Structure 1
Amino acid sequence: MAEGEVRPNKKVVLRNYVNGFLQESDMVAATDTVRLEVPHGWTAVIVKNLYLSCDPYMCLRMASPEESIEFPSFVVGSVMIGYGVSKVVVSRHKDLKVGDLVWGMIGWEEYSLISDPDFLMKINHPELPLSYYTGILGMPGMTAYIGFYELCAPKKGEFVFVSAASGAVGQLVGQFAKMTGCYVVGSAGSDEKVNLLMEKFGFDDAFNYKKEQDLNAALKRCFPEGIDIYFENVGGAMLDAVLLNMRISGRIAACGMISQYNTEKLEGVHNLMNIVTKRLRMEGFVVADHYSKYREFEEMVVQHLKSKEITYVEDITEGLESAPAALVGLFKGQNVGKKLVVVARE
């Protein structure tokens, strides 16, 4: 494609702010045009988008500015933004050239003008599936790495519980735990996902939380001696039950609470006194604060992928127009593994 060429540009825009449960109708697919040209004086790039990552936190950015929690809201009528994998097609940036493969924050569209390319990560291992940079080698993988190793400081023989364990982050946390010599249990929302945890990812035990009438009893069954480390992805009733089952000096890394993202009334947590009596440390984190450690993470995981010590499962949807349904499906538990959308294949 030639610089300066005008091309059609499919995109997904936010139709209205989300109130309650996310609906496909909150987003709309449209087609515009884009000129493959960087404005004069900008150190920007234009990228062709290949893969889009569907991530639960995006729902938080779809709330109105008055209701948004921490993350800045998307603008109604504007293209949605998320993590993805792209190819540079026009560059005015000294460290990026045409043809470079990158991952980072891009628009949910075919082509994006990235005004600040310093936030893009160059892909060092194109011999691996590029889609992995939406998941195991991208933001979700980095989230698992920082939360488990940096915040929880695991020790061999400890007892680890992972909620939403078959998702983009949880499946990797569980494998990190096994590599460390921990006993690990995961929860998921279907028997298929439970089997995946046990048979594919090597969890010691797992349960379908939708079949458990008493989460406290389920955790006591899986952890008769209690939990040392809890990797928190869910919140609400699950967190309340976990607090009852933590061991003295346990650690909780909180990277998300998906059960609270699509509700008009947040659930209360009643067992917080356990943080005091059991001397627990619970720490929330946002992975973007830790990208200075990305390269050491990337090289570690690449080696484990190549040696087949780590495996990863993706749930792939084809076509940009299918992105709204793919994102909504996350909150209905429809995905098995990391959810991503193919915009174009190189």
Structure 2
Amino acid sequence: MPALPTSNRIVLASRPTGKPVSENFRREQEAVRDLAEGEVLLQILYLSLDPYMRGRMDDAKSYAKPVEINGVMEGGTVARVLRTRNAFFAPGDIVLSHSGWQSHAISNGSDLRKLDPNQAPLTTALGVLGMTGFTAYAGLRNIGKPKVGETVVVAAASGAVGSAVGQIARIFGARAVGIAGGREKCDYVRDELGFDAAIDHRSRDFATDLAAACSNGIDVYFENVGGDVWSAVYPLLNDFARVPVCGLIAHYNENRPAADGYDQLPAVMRSILRKSLTIRGFIQREFADQRPDFYREAGAWISEGRLKYREDIVEGLENAPDAFIGLLEGRNFGKLIVHVAS
């Protein structure tokens, strides 16, 4: 039997103050130990990079524990089984796992889901057919609840979650308006994904352009960003509008109050009361029982060409920190994935 491999990994070296920097990460190597009964050794093929990871870098109370200092950065992965002492898995099996930023990992099998490489590209298990796609599906279906003819607006519309939100909204019979940064991303959202309109949040006329695209107001706003985008959206919300809050990427790096000191909360609360708004944060795992529906429906939509996706593949685990920092700055275009091994 071949010798056990050495695992390359990226750990959290220090907690960031504001924006993460390369010094917050450290590359290490660790010898892989022998397997215990029931365990499998995984070789990581692909690693998903997602905005939620920024929150895990802080030592703050949240819906999940933070990554410990000197701990492996967490993340979803697609992996190959190299060795096994678990009767349910065989060498060569391809699995979805949550192994984090490393080249090899050991699992007891409880967190693994077998993938069929012939059914869909492996990377889709981390994107459109994975957590990000399901996040869009679950938030829109359970909280947004768009009706035929309503207007659905989504921020970060060219990203992994936002792009799926708009397309699924159209499948449900609603009108989709996407917000993205820059002409290239807006053209992609409108011309390739089929949104009814795409608005550039970098434009000086952003608020005016958004109001023109939503002349009948906004019935569902899928929140991924916060910040100035939210400020332009919330005056346009119709009575009984629904706001699934999925992410707040504009605020993830904040470590002090806004410079102008303006407190928007009273105005927002008045709108919630006056317009009978529903604003609800969610984590996709709340709706885990709906995953079979999602896999079935999303798989059919992709086959029919109704649900399209774009992936931004970065080569090499060593490039994960810079790619992640770029994700928080909006440098990626599509679902961001690191290709760790062939």
One of 315, 326, 330 as aligned partner of 2:327: 330
What secondary structure is seen at the aligned counterpart in 2 of 1:81? coil
**Which structure 2 residues correspond to residues 256-295 of structure 1 after superposition, within 5 A?**
256-265=247-256, 268-270=263-265, 271-272=267-268, 273-295=270-292
Q: Which residue type is aligned with residue 26 of structure 2?
A: V
Return 69-78 or 274-283, whichever deviates more: 69-78
**Residue 239 of structure 1 pairs with residue 230 of structure 2:** yes
* Residues 248-286 of structure 1: CA deviation (Å, up to 9, x unaligned): 111111111101101112555343211111111111110
Partner of 2:313: 316
One of 49, 55, 64 as aligned partner of 1:54: 49
Partner of 2:188: 196
Q: Which residue type is aligned with residue 230 of structure 2?
A: L
- Is the contact made by 1:315 and 1:337 (CA closer than 8 Å) also made in structure 2? yes
What secondary structure is seen at the aligned counterpart in 1 of 2:302? helix
2 CA distance for matches of 1:169 and 1:193? 14
What secondary structure is seen at the aligned counterpart in 1 of 2:238? strand
1 CA distance for matches of 2:332 and 2:173? 29
Q: Which residue type is aligned with residue 145 of structure 1?
A: Y
Q: Which residue type is aligned with residue 189 of structure 2?
A: L
Q: Runs of 5+ in structure 1 lacking a partner?
A: none
1 CA distance for matches of 2:210 and 2:86? 52
Partner of 2:239: 248
* Residues 285-341 of structure 1: CA deviation (Å, up to 9, x unaligned): 101222222122112111121222221000110001011111111011110111110
* Residues 20-70 of structure 1: CA deviation (Å, up to 9, x unaligned): 1111221122222213x322x4x3322111100010000100012xx3533
- Is the contact made by 1:233 and 1:258 (CA closer than 8 Å) also made in structure 2? yes
One of 214, 218, 230 as aligned partner of 1:227: 218
Report deviation, 1:120: 2.2
2 CA distance for matches of 1:214 and 1:301? 32
**Residue 303 of structure 1 pairs with residue 303 of structure 2:** no
Report deviation, 1:236: 2.4
Q: Which residue type is aligned with residue 69 of structure 2?
A: V
2 CA distance for matches of 1:314 and 1:19? 29
One of 98, 117, 123 as aligned partner of 2:115: 123
2 CA distance for matches of 1:25 and 1:185? 38
* Residues 218-263 of structure 1: CA deviation (Å, up to 9, x unaligned): 3311111100000000112322332211111111111111011011
- Is the contact made by 1:17 and 1:26 (CA closer than 8 Å) also made in structure 2? yes
2 CA distance for matches of 1:256 and 1:227? 19
TM-score (norm 1): 0.92
* Residues 165-207 of structure 1: CA deviation (Å, up to 9, x unaligned): 1111000111101112211111111111111101110011111
What secondary structure is seen at the aligned counterpart in 1 of 2:99? strand
**Residue 150 of structure 1 pairs with residue 159 of structure 2:** no
What secondary structure is seen at the aligned counterpart in 2 of 1:218? helix
- Is the contact made by 1:212 and 1:218 (CA closer than 8 Å) also made in structure 2? no
1 CA distance for matches of 2:213 and 2:27? 45
Report deviation, 1:213: 5.0
What secondary structure is seen at the aligned counterpart in 1 of 2:76? strand
**Which structure 2 residues correspond to residues 60-79 of structure 1 after superposition, within 5 A?**
60-64=55-59, 67-79=60-72
* Residues 65-119 of structure 1: CA deviation (Å, up to 9, x unaligned): xx3533311111121110111112233344333322211311211111124x322
Report deviation, 1:164: 0.6
Q: Which residue type is aligned with residue 218 of structure 1?
A: D
Q: Which residue type is aligned with residue 237 of structure 1?
A: D
Partner of 1:81: 74
Q: Are residues 157 and 240 of structure 1, via their aligned partners in 2, closer, same or farther at CA, if it must alter by over 3 Å?
A: same
Return 264-273 or 300-309, whichever deviates more: 264-273
1 CA distance for matches of 2:167 and 2:104? 35
What secondary structure is seen at the aligned counterpart in 2 of 1:107? coil
Q: Which runs of 4+ in 1 moved over 6 A?
A: none
What secondary structure is seen at the aligned counterpart in 2 of 1:185? strand
One of 27, 31, 34 as aligned partner of 2:32: 34
2 CA distance for matches of 1:18 and 1:70? 19
Report deviation, 1:124: 4.2
Partner of 2:8: 10
2 CA distance for matches of 1:103 and 1:304? 21
- Is the contact made by 1:103 and 1:138 (CA closer than 8 Å) also made in structure 2? no
Return 71-80 or 331-340, whichever deviates more: 71-80
1 CA distance for matches of 2:324 and 2:11? 13
- Is the contact made by 2:76 and 2:98 (CA closer than 8 Å) also made in structure 1? yes
2 CA distance for matches of 1:127 and 1:34? 31
